[in-house]
Amino acid sequence: FGARLLKSGESFTHESGPVSVSGFVAPPEMNRATSHNIYTFVNNRFIRDTLLNRTMIKAYQGLLPPDRYPMVFAMISLPPHEVDVNVHPTKSEVRFRNASMVLNVLREGIVNALNTLQKKGWDRPLVVYETESKATPSWRETASKYQPMDISPFFEKDQRPTPAPEYAESPRSSQSVEKEGIFSSLEVIGQLGDSYILCEAPDGLVIIDQHAAHERIIYDSLSAKNDQKYTVSQLLLTPQPLDLLPNEANVLSELLPYLETMGLQVEPFGGNTFVIKAVPTCLENDDPKTLVNDLISEAVSGGWIREEKIDVGIKLRQAMACKAAVKANSRLSKEEIIALLRKLDQTDNPATCPHGRPLWWKITNDEIARFFKRGHSPV
């Protein structure tokens, strides 16, 4: 895989019952246009198996851009009688006696490795997005493709009172555990173009896309945890009636079970009318009618209901997070930035937005020193 990838990725070992898996996962930003860089071995035999590939790709769900594929090396070991290698003339395909067990062990191993990788935050090497036909550009070459931005004055005093941001810290239960501050431990410098948060790390400059970061925060809050069936919701003081066209009402009826698990409580009210009774606490400042109408429109245009391969729940969470997240070109106070970084530390995947795009970038002191022709990095 190369020295750079080995330094940036994460190895894993996982076993359950007679099945054990080990291997190596590349970071999400090192993705490819095809699945040809997924290598699978069963009892030391190289195979190409659609079901195994699909499982490994799904483990990266929410971490990759659309139509991109991960780089994974996986070795599966199990007793010979648990696998049939004679289902293909070239022995490149296999059939497992207990396929679900094998797939679960494989998925859990990769997910655990990705979680370990993501929790390293800005401290891990971040590999630039690359294609198969071109060498990886330097950060200077990448930055040169974009129009220069004006840097707004950092944290000017504002005469108006600053409202509490919707992503401000909420009271925690005594049973919750605070994650170690990764991004919140950085020294905040300010904003670039009212769109990117600039922070000083011990080894360089960290740039955070504020919209993508807030998207990740909201998306994770909409995803029920292992010990929860539903996302926490806020009851509306006055339930909101919603009148729809017949085709819109049919689509909303299909979406209701998914919306309920996310804390968006909508109930039929006769005919093509529905009533919105509660919204997720992270979206309580949004207009409920607009939110539901937008979700219906996206479901129709994206064909979510007709396409069996689409995970409707994930699509809904992605759409809700994107619409509710703080936008680019939005001025944030230093207090709002710090609150956002603290919330980002609490997410499971603080490296990409829900659509798989990177949400932070680091320019190291060594890169800066080389650009200015210095012999050593700044201290």
Task: Tell whether domain 3-119 is in CATH 3.30.70.1400.
Answer: no
Write out the residue limits of the CATH 3.30.230.10 domain(s) in the chain.
3-119
Q: Where in the chain is the domain with CATH 3.30.1370.100?
A: 233-324
CA 99 to chain centre: 28
DSSP of 125-176: --PPP--TTSPPPPHHHHHTTS---PPPPTT---SSPPPPPTTSPPPPPTT-
- What separation in angstroms does the CA of 141 have from each of 137, 145, 146? 6, 7, 10
Which architecture, in CATH terms, is 233-324? 2-Layer Sandwich (3.30)
Q: What span, in angstroms and rounded, lies between the C-alpha atoms of 28 and 70? A: 7
Residue with the two structure tokens 């190895």: 11
Answer for the pair 94, 50: CB distance below 8 angstroms, yes or no. no
**Amino acid symbol at 348:** D
pLDDT digits (tens), the chain, 379 positions: 566 667 778 899 999 989 999 999 988 878 888 888 899 999 988 888 888 998 999 888 878 887 889 999 999 999 988 888 776 665 667 888 888 999 999 999 999 998 888 776 655 555 544 434 344 444 334 433 433 333 333 334 443 333 333 333 333 333 333 445 789 999 999 999 999 999 998 888 999 999 999 999 999 888 865 445 556 788 999 999 999 999 999 999 999 998 988 889 999 998 999 999 999 888 888 889 999 999 999 888 877 776 665 688 888 989 999 988 999 999 999 999 999 999 998 887 888 888 888 889 888 888 889 888 886 655 5
296 SS3 class? helix
Other C-beta atoms within 10 Å of 314: how many?
16
Q: Decide if 276 contacts 239 (C-beta within 8 A).
A: yes
